[in-house]
Amino acid sequence: MIRIGALALGFFFFATVIFWSFIPGAYTHFFGEHPPKAAEKVFHLEPKDVSFSFDGPFGSWDAQQLQRGLKVYKETCAACHSLEQVSFRSLSEIGYTEAEVKAIAAEFTVPGVNPDTGEAEGRPGLPTDKFPSPYANDIAAAAANNNAIPPDLSLMPKARKGGAPYIYSLLTGYQDPPAELLQKYPEAKPGPGLNYNPYFKNLNIAMVAPLTVDGQVTYDDGTEATVDQMAKDVSAFLSWTAEPTMIERKRTGFWWIGFLIFATILAYLSKKQVWSSIKGKD
Ligand code: HEC
């Protein structure tokens, strides 16, 4: 009786898990998806095939690249985007000294209070501050950007399918809408303040192309600052802000796999040892 009860309970959990995992699929099957606009289906592109030093199980950060990416962020993206999960002091992890971190923090203005009047007032950033938003609030951000709020970029490669290659593709993907699109789907023509970008989910993005000319940023390490290079470097930098411990995570994984293989061999050998005396008798 108890056994049947246990079986029934097990089956109940099993059925619940199976059912639960099918709900989203079942929902779209019966009620249908939001119909993506026909033009999106045809013209939307998957991220370009681009490789980064931190790809794959043996990848690692390229500190020079991360520093170049920070420069692109500071001189271009920071005009609109914050990195509110990242404090200046964590820049020491990508090779900056304490004095350099202080200097970088001080280039930014963070919200503060005037000590004499108590009025809200900006002050130079400190290493303990986070990369601030350039706007006082979302209303100001939307007003300055044709009603679209520039999202915080701290976790962007994790928040979008495609990760760093998506950001790279988005930054290098601005182009004129293809003639075929305008012919077939005139309604997909970018509206006022929107720009055609086939890597963006609905093809029309409110962000104007932020990287447009080679040499827009001057790199300290002599690397040529082509648009392609700047896009790659800032995508790498944002991958670091999104998961600064990515490399440690991969290394820890290796240690564990190594340990588990070792433990398996050990278990096998000890099983052999324990049973060796008995085996001979049959
Ligand atoms: C002039 C302001 C401005 C600048 C400069 C700018 N952006 Fe944006 N960005 C925006 C706005 C506005 C949006 C929201 C677009 C939308 O939702 O249509 C956005 C959206 C994004 C997105 C999100 C796209 C998505 O999938 O939702 C990413 C990633 C991004 N920007 C990266 C960058 C990077 C990297 C830089 C610097 C190289 C940069 N931006 C510079 C205004 C800006």
Q: Where are the domains of the chain?
A: 38-49+61-82+133-244
**What is the Å distance from ligand 1's center to 151 Cα?**
7
Residue at token pair 């709900």: 23
Non-local (6+) Cβ contacts of 248 within 8 A are none
235 or 191: which leads in pLDDT: 235
231 CA: nearest ligand 1 atom = 38
Contacts within 8 Å (CB) and 24+ apart, 57-62? 57/250, 57/253, 57/254, 58/250, 59/247, 59/250, 60/247, 61/94, 61/236, 61/240, 61/247, 62/236
**What is the Å distance from ligand 1's center to 77 Cα?**
7
Least confident of 19-28, 114-123, 140-149, 203-212: 19-28
**Residue 32: pLDDT band with limits 50, 70, 90:** low
0.75 exceeded by the pTM?
yes
What is d(CA 100, CA 89) in angstroms, rounded to the nearest whole number?
A: 10
Least confident of 2-11, 112-121, 141-150: 2-11
Q: Which fold does the domain 38-49+61-82+133-244 belong to in CATH?
A: Cytochrome Bc1 Complex; Chain D, domain 2 (1.10.760)
Report whether residue 79 contacts ligand 1, using a CB cutoff of 6 Å.
Answer: yes
Report whether residue 225 contacts ligand 1, using a CB cutoff of 6 Å.
Answer: no
Report whether residue 81 contacts ligand 1, using a CB cutoff of 6 Å.
Answer: yes
Q: Which two tokens stand for residue 90?
A: 């964590």
Burial of 248 (0-12, 13-18, 19+ CB in 10 A): exposed
Report whether residue 77 contacts ligand 1, using a CB cutoff of 6 Å.
Answer: yes
